[in-house]
Structure 1
Amino acid sequence: MKKLKIEIPVLLPEVAHEQDACVQRLIEQLEGREGIEEIHVENTPPGVKESLLCFHYQPEIIPVARIQALARQVGAELTARFGHMVLEVEGIRHQRHARGVESALEEKSGVLDAEVSGSGVIRLEYDRQLVSKEALYQAIQEQNLGIRSGVVNRAGGKDHAAHAAPSGTSSPKKQEHVHTEGEEHEHKEGEEHEHGHAHGGPFGKNSELIFVLLCGALLGVGWGLTFIDGITSWISLACYIGAYFFGGYYTAKEAIESIAVKRFEIDFLMLIAAMGAAFLGEWAEGALLLFLFSLGHALEHYAMNKAQKSIAALAELAPRTALLKRSGQLDEVSIDQLQVGDVIVVKPNTKIPADGVVVDGKSSVNQAPITGESVPVDKEPVKDPQATFTRQQEVPAQHWVFAGSINGNGSLEIKVQKQASDSTLSRLVKLVNEAQTQKSPTQLFTDRFERIFVPSVLVLVVLLLFAWVVVDEPFSESFYRAMAVLVAASPCALAISTPSAVLSGVARAARGGVLIKGGRPLEDLGVLTAIAFDKTGTLTEGTPRLTHVVPYGSISEEELLRITVAVEQLSDHPLAKAVVRDGLKRFGQPDSGARKVPQAEDLQAVLGKGIQARLNETTVYIGNRALFEELGGAPLPADLNEKAARLEDEGNTTMIIRQDEQYIGVIALMDTPRPEAKATLEKLKKLGIRRMIMLTGDNQKVGNAVAREIGLTDAWGNLLPEQKVASIKELKQQESKVAMVGDGVNDAPAMAHSTVGIAMGAAGSDVALETADIALMADDLTNLPFAIGLSRQSKRIIQQNLWMSLGVTAFLIPATIFGFASIGIAVLIHEGSTLVVVFNALRLLAFRKE
């Protein structure tokens, strides 16, 4: 497997060694990730202040852009020597053609890594000092590809001089010693370039299909004429030669392109077999071979386009224009002209053109195209239309809208918060396209297998050509058998079996509001047996709720609540705010509740364990049991103490209330489980997840209470962030493959060490989009069973396709060697199996979300 080494100058204040806290955070977030083998600090040359953080990684699994994004997340400033771009191109005919283009691009000086998908997406990592972006565009166009649109790079941050990198360890294929610089990615929607279609010809982009039909027609006419008496054989031969031309044109074209980059692909093998059939006078059989092979190619290309269009449809979600409000007038402008702070008007039942906040109007918005939410979300204006929000997380969900979502029956005015190139939709499209180039473990296996298999087949064919020397048969029969084996052994179905399933799975997930970053997480998610969850904000609401109001003595529940709210509304503590919010709700409307609450004064903190305030000439104390043990005065009654302890055993945080020397009750708060949590965990059990573990910094009693309520198998409490990482490592030893579900920010180190890191609510977090292996766009647990179910189905289809393609090859090779199958039969079965695996993969596009 190809490996690279990069050395990043980590520009952080006073970073002197590997033990620096910031460097340790960066190492924590990357160490243990699939594809990263080693991270360490290199010795810097004399006079160089920056520390060189060295990564040894496998670009097929984790691209340098992910490394850079994670480095930026912890505050590292990176230099801009290296570029990373994702391009959509036209002209990639199939997966084998993609591999040829990939090889050609990797030969280009300055290209560190190239990955090309059969769906027409190219990912390049390159050294800006050795090759320019324009030179890369030219190299792509030299492969007869047209650049449709792409992700281009902007240098970010401050320029820094590159230092000579010290020599390092060797790698199996190639090794690069580089300093990299942070970069931003800009998606240019609809960036068009003049080009010729690779499928072009006299009939335009449908030339290949028309050539196939002409080949079939000439083959049929030629074969039919052989049954008519009096028709000379040269007329049939002329038809077969015509069939050879139309059926072999694109086959020969691809064979020449493959040989030019020193690859011997199936097209070359098929061409040799057809020429061999002609040499033996079997013109009809050779024409049939070319017809079926070309037809298979055309149908394969059609099927792959279907999956590709499913992804391309994401880019079409946002409208091309927006109604910009200027001085009370509406102007229709391109979305590329919108700037942060502009106000746009969105009419009823139209698509929203930009990410932003609602400043006027109310409506329900269908966010399913972005987040997968099935129910429209009500939107209303922000309180301060002039406010500027630097982060989406600062804006409540009812005020924020996404580009590509669909407005309901109301008209909205929206203040733009992100340019078109930085919108959530644009980032989603970029990441989905990039995911197509990340190879799965099965695809890496098939690639390695083919590198050994194809040369072995060529050796076998050469040996079979000389079978007549040791076996009593004419040379023509040995030659025919060798050509039949060439056809039978061509790994066409094997090459397309996994990429087609990965493409379809990623496309279907994106439509359902789940971003899966490539084949590896798609496959790994399908074999999980254990999932670890962060508690706060993942399994629970993330905000405390008032759960119990327990009066003590003669006081009523309403009076206890009135006194408590009166004191707590003087405090800005999160628990106090929760008491006030939920207490006023219990009185009815907040305004009427406020009228029922008396005015307290003179708030003071007491011993760090509670508060006190004056209310109607009495002193009210509110705090935990430890407060009253140290406060003195009237002792805490045993039965009230028992009630508080029982509530704490149930996972509540309790507050005891005393008025002067009289205890009047206890209230309890709890970060309550999400309403959908229990049903979601039940679905996960049915999908075969044996262990579901909650990792929380809360005390063990709270963890146990939440676990009992929603049906978790384990709850591990009192965990610091570094202890969560240790817990994930322990789980991986017990269960082999473990997913970690969190918000993608605070849980990043634990997610990095899990087999698959899953971030919730990623549509509201750029960090989660960049760092997670799988991102649930909506803050909705119910998308998790869908993602796992889809991955299970994808894994099954990948295995089916793999065994089918290997099985057909294993059957056909001996069948052709021993003469049980002719060239015609071999190519029929061969091309049939290719189409079966492709259409089997396309079933994923119809996977239903329950």
Structure 2
Amino acid sequence: MDEAVLYRVHGLDCKNEVAALTRELAPLVGEDNLAFDTERGMMTVAPQKPVVADVIKDAVARAGMRAEPWAPQTASSTFVNPTFQQEDLACGCGAEVQEALSPPIPTHLSGQIVFRIHGMDCADEIAALKREVGPLVGEDKLAFDLLNGRMSINATPDAALEARVEKAVARAGLRAEPWTEGGTSEAAQAEERRKRTQMWLTTASGALTALGFAVHAWLGGGVVAAFEAGEHALGSTPLPSMLLYAVAVLCAARYVAPKAWLAAKRFRPDMNLLMMVAVAGAIGIGAWFEAATVSFFFALALALEAWSLGRARRAVAALMELAPPTARVKLEDGSERDAPAAQVRVGAHIIVRPGDKVPLDGRVVTGESEVNQAPITGESVPVFKAEGDEVFAGTINGEGAIEVVTTKAANDTTLAQIIRMVGSAQSRRAPSEQWVEKFARVYTPVVMGLAIAIFLAPPLLLGSAWDVWFYRALVLLVIACPCALVISTPVTIVAALAGAAKQGVLVKGGTHLETPAHLKAIAMDKTGTLTEGRPQVVEIVPLGSRSETELLGLAAALESRSGHPIARAILAKAAELKIAAEPAEAVQAITGRGVTGQVAGREMWLGSRRYIEEQVNSPEVLQRADELSSAGRTIVAVGDGQDVWGLFAVADAVRPEAKDIVSALHRSGIEHVVMLTGDNRATAEAIAKQTGIDEVRAELLPGDKVAAVEDLVRRYGSVAMVGDGVNDAPAMGRANLGIAMGAIGSDAAIETADVALMSDDLSKLSWLVRHSRATLAVVRQNVAFSIAVKLLFTALTVIGLASLWGAIAADVGASLLVVLNGLRLLNRGQTSTQKGGSIRRRWRSSVPA
């Protein structure tokens, strides 16, 4: 393989550009030799043979972008591992090590500014940032990654703009700093200290409230008197309890009051202002116990929200730790050296020892082993790997040592893509999440207006007591706080995304998580989706007195040096049956018909049906060939002179589980399953008959597939497209939901898709539909429960049966219940029957031939 070259591609920032570049460059260098990093606008090209840089640039220009070779600024930047640098240079192998290493990739992406936002933990902070930063850059240019506390702006990096943005973030009560991948800045450490302090203050608030209540009960005549004290006149709380309650309020309000003050200054009421008004009002009427209780429970609700988000963040951090930081690089002289995985070039050879984690994506070149792929694909059974098989970074090698040639850089491995996709999932918010956010935005000021009306109307219109209705207005403010409503949906969506990832189903954001629940039709590509994606010899028909072994040996000899898919199928069948054959001599290809060559001194040929018709013209053989091809198979004959020795039927084998999968889709509510293929109609019809497909559309070009998907969208409204190749990418982009086969799928298909099946297990399709519906059901349950609690306590407040401490207890209880209900989706797996079938299939695939 020629040395890999790194290009900076201006304009490369999303999956559509990746698909366009793949279409232009794949014919030049091969799709397997391309790797893209959209986050940094980089492209790696590792062709099998040298390609002029100008040819690459012209191809990129045809895709509407501009490429330039990227090189490190200094020579020293290509090599940063001091543990072995001097030793390698001293022994004369430093140049070889540098050949295997790749220069560090720049962390800044042209056209985008990324900030770490300290204190961004919930939708309230995002809303505040939109209000402050949106007018500066345009709200449509803002994107938020709540999981990683990150804000992105689609704008050209500019020091003056960055300074203005940082000031705007400060006005929102938060702190911004330029994002550094993997960096731990002083500000980040300060943020961690702030969180620890907030936790201790919340704990102290609860302890002081409990102590104040105990003192009150001891000095004031018992527990009942202490509960009722809040509704009596100022001064009914003993001074020691009052002091304890006051300190409890201050501890809980330390990080809430500044945000409430900012909301008040901008006349934009939010939950923080709502709580502080309720606390101040309770103190004003002498309800110290209730003021302290409200403060503590609200601080506890914030802690619950941070905990649920922190759990998701820790899951992503655990993903980052899956891949080892170093790789064992094999040099040209056969020696081995440890090197940083981030600097190993595409095309380098690495050694993975027994029990080690695989550091980079690659292809096995020597050795055999079983590899545990559960961290990436969700497969519970180790998969047998031998020469030519793909391995993924982060997977765990078994008992055999393997040598792997790397196919992707560290920042572009399947694991790295999963981490980026999971990390950015919250920037693509689900429709239900957007609805809740908009609802809460209107809901809060309406509730404050209603509380004011409840406080003023009865005393002014009916002559009721001011203190009674003031207290009831405070209770309404507390119970109306939309904490549970706002927390429930993002927690549910994050839990559902993480639960899907555990099953090997990578959903690229909440916006795509709800779509499967509404699907009415699913379109599937044939090759690589319903079928295995590679031709196999499915039948051998000897003629005369010949045997299958004799035919395979002859065909393998003629095809031993061919890279044609049918040749690979014949050679694979010969290897399976342990038939060894010496390569034929004087082999000549007959374009579109077959090959001729000398085997053991005899002139032999291997050809298609057309070759039989033109050269042999045997009606009996042609009839037998037509019988075999009627099932959609490709026929190859082998013989000598005018004599046909036998026939091979070659076909793309249907996945064993395909029929059960189509049935499961129908049972899960999918009305119509359609096959879209570029193959001939006879083959497509035969496979559809085997699998139970409802409709077949064959002999389609990529543009025809797009038209077919558009027709299905018009007929059924909500349609998914499942594919694995570059030719499927346009149709996947047009469908309501694009689903890629993650393990065998092309980079363009995976980038274009909204969902990737990392284990290529189609049984996950019906699971995804059910999981999506379960997610929507949990969201509806949480929203309905939250609003029901609000309505119930609103009615109790108006008739005087609710108290402040009861309202906050109900509000926090509701928050806790909806969080726990949402987190159930983390561990939502398949049924035991489905798991058993899936495990059996994986076991079969893991057994070596």
TM-score (normalizing by structure 1): 0.76
Would the alpha carbon gap of residues 533 and 109 (structure 1) be closer, same or farther in structure 2, given more than 3 Å must change? closer
- For residue 623 of structure 1, report the CA deviation from its aligned partner: 2.7
2:323 to 307, 318, 333: 318
Amino acid at match of 1:281: G
Measured against aligned partners, the alpha-carbon deviations of 1:205-234 in whole angstroms (never above 9, x if no partner) come to 633432332343344235423534999832
2:537 to 518, 543, 546: 546
Name 2:197's counterpart in structure 1.
204
1:703 to 676, 684, 693: 684
For residues 543 and 345 of structure 2, the distance between their equivalents in structure 1, rounded to whole angstroms, comes to 59
- For residue 99 of structure 1, report the CA deviation from its aligned partner: 3.1
- For residue 546 of structure 1, report the CA deviation from its aligned partner: 1.4
2:619 to 633, 636, 640: 636
Name 1:255's counterpart in structure 2.
260
Amino acid at match of 1:363: S
- For residue 312 of structure 1, report the CA deviation from its aligned partner: 2.2
1:678 to 632, 640, 659: 659
Name 1:798's counterpart in structure 2.
779
Would the alpha carbon gap of residues 738 and 379 (structure 1) be closer, same or farther in structure 2, given more than 3 Å must change? same
Would the alpha carbon gap of residues 262 and 112 (structure 1) be closer, same or farther in structure 2, given more than 3 Å must change? farther
- For residue 495 of structure 1, report the CA deviation from its aligned partner: 1.1
For residues 209 and 118 of structure 1, the distance between their equivalents in structure 2, rounded to whole angstroms, comes to 23
Indicate yes or no: 2:499 matched with 1:508.
yes
For residues 516 and 485 of structure 2, the distance between their equivalents in structure 1, rounded to whole angstroms, comes to 23
Q: Flag structure 2 segments of 5+ consecutive residues without an equivalent.
A: 1-8, 24-37, 44-58, 68-107, 226-235, 836-849
2:722 to 741, 744, 750: 741
2:297 to 292, 297, 304: 292
- For residue 682 of structure 1, report the CA deviation from its aligned partner: 3.9
For residues 414 and 635 of structure 1, the distance between their equivalents in structure 2, rounded to whole angstroms, comes to 49
Indicate yes or no: 2:408 matched with 1:456.
no
Contact 2:524 2:673 in 1 (8 A): yes
Indicate yes or no: 2:413 matched with 1:423.
yes
2:246 to 241, 248, 251: 241
Cα RMSD (Å): 4.2
Name 2:396's counterpart in structure 1.
406
For residues 566 and 351 of structure 2, the distance between their equivalents in structure 1, rounded to whole angstroms, comes to 39
Amino acid at match of 1:545: Q
Contact 1:215 1:291 in 2 (8 A): no
Amino acid at match of 1:279: G
1:622 to 602, 607, 632: 607
2:209 to 213, 216, 228: 216
Amino acid at match of 2:785: M
1:647 to 616, 620, 628: 628
- For residue 433 of structure 1, report the CA deviation from its aligned partner: 0.6
1:272 to 271, 277, 299: 277
- For residue 107 of structure 1, report the CA deviation from its aligned partner: 4.4
- For residue 258 of structure 1, report the CA deviation from its aligned partner: 3.9
Name 1:476's counterpart in structure 2.
467
- For residue 765 of structure 1, report the CA deviation from its aligned partner: 4.7
Name 1:715's counterpart in structure 2.
696
Contact 1:541 1:673 in 2 (8 A): yes
- For residue 635 of structure 1, report the CA deviation from its aligned partner: 5.5
Residue 513 of structure 2 aligns to a residue whose secondary structure is helix
1:372 to 378, 393, 403: 378
Name 1:100's counterpart in structure 2.
128
The structure with the largest helix share of the pair is 2
Would the alpha carbon gap of residues 744 and 809 (structure 1) be closer, same or farther in structure 2, given more than 3 Å must change? farther
Name 1:45's counterpart in structure 2.
none
2:590 to 581, 605, 620: 605
Residue 518 of structure 2 aligns to a residue whose secondary structure is coil
For residues 171 and 161 of structure 2, the distance between their equivalents in structure 1, rounded to whole angstroms, comes to 14
Name 1:227's counterpart in structure 2.
220
For residues 202 and 433 of structure 1, the distance between their equivalents in structure 2, rounded to whole angstroms, comes to 21
Would the alpha carbon gap of residues 370 and 731 (structure 1) be closer, same or farther in structure 2, given more than 3 Å must change? same
Name 2:313's counterpart in structure 1.
308
- For residue 320 of structure 1, report the CA deviation from its aligned partner: 3.9
- For residue 269 of structure 1, report the CA deviation from its aligned partner: 0.6
For residues 263 and 735 of structure 1, the distance between their equivalents in structure 2, rounded to whole angstroms, comes to 43
For residues 801 and 483 of structure 2, the distance between their equivalents in structure 1, rounded to whole angstroms, comes to 21
* Greater Cα offset, 461-470 or 77-86: 77-86
- For residue 75 of structure 1, report the CA deviation from its aligned partner: 2.8
Measured against aligned partners, the alpha-carbon deviations of 1:705-741 in whole angstroms (never above 9, x if no partner) come to 1122233233221212111111111222222211111
Name 2:520's counterpart in structure 1.
529
- For residue 144 of structure 1, report the CA deviation from its aligned partner: 6.6
- For residue 755 of structure 1, report the CA deviation from its aligned partner: 1.1
- For residue 545 of structure 1, report the CA deviation from its aligned partner: 1.2
Q: Superposed, which structure 2 residues align to 1:141-160 within 5 Å?
A: none
For residues 545 and 296 of structure 1, the distance between their equivalents in structure 2, rounded to whole angstroms, comes to 59
For residues 338 and 616 of structure 2, the distance between their equivalents in structure 1, rounded to whole angstroms, comes to 73
Contact 1:601 1:613 in 2 (8 A): yes
For residues 701 and 604 of structure 2, the distance between their equivalents in structure 1, rounded to whole angstroms, comes to 38
Q: Flag structure 1 segments of 5+ consecutive residues without an equivalent.
A: 1-7, 12-21, 30-63, 153-187, 383-395
Q: Superposed, which structure 2 residues align to 1:21-100 within 5 Å?
A: 75-77=63-65, 83-84=111-112, 91-100=119-128
Would the alpha carbon gap of residues 10 and 255 (structure 1) be closer, same or farther in structure 2, given more than 3 Å must change? closer
Name 2:578's counterpart in structure 1.
589
For residues 439 and 687 of structure 2, the distance between their equivalents in structure 1, rounded to whole angstroms, comes to 48
Would the alpha carbon gap of residues 828 and 452 (structure 1) be closer, same or farther in structure 2, given more than 3 Å must change? same
Name 2:233's counterpart in structure 1.
none
Contact 1:222 1:240 in 2 (8 A): no
Identity of aligned residues (%): 34
Amino acid at match of 1:221: A
- For residue 613 of structure 1, report the CA deviation from its aligned partner: 6.8
TM-score (normalizing by structure 2): 0.76
Measured against aligned partners, the alpha-carbon deviations of 1:735-776 in whole angstroms (never above 9, x if no partner) come to 221111111522111000111111113587543443221122
Amino acid at match of 1:313: A
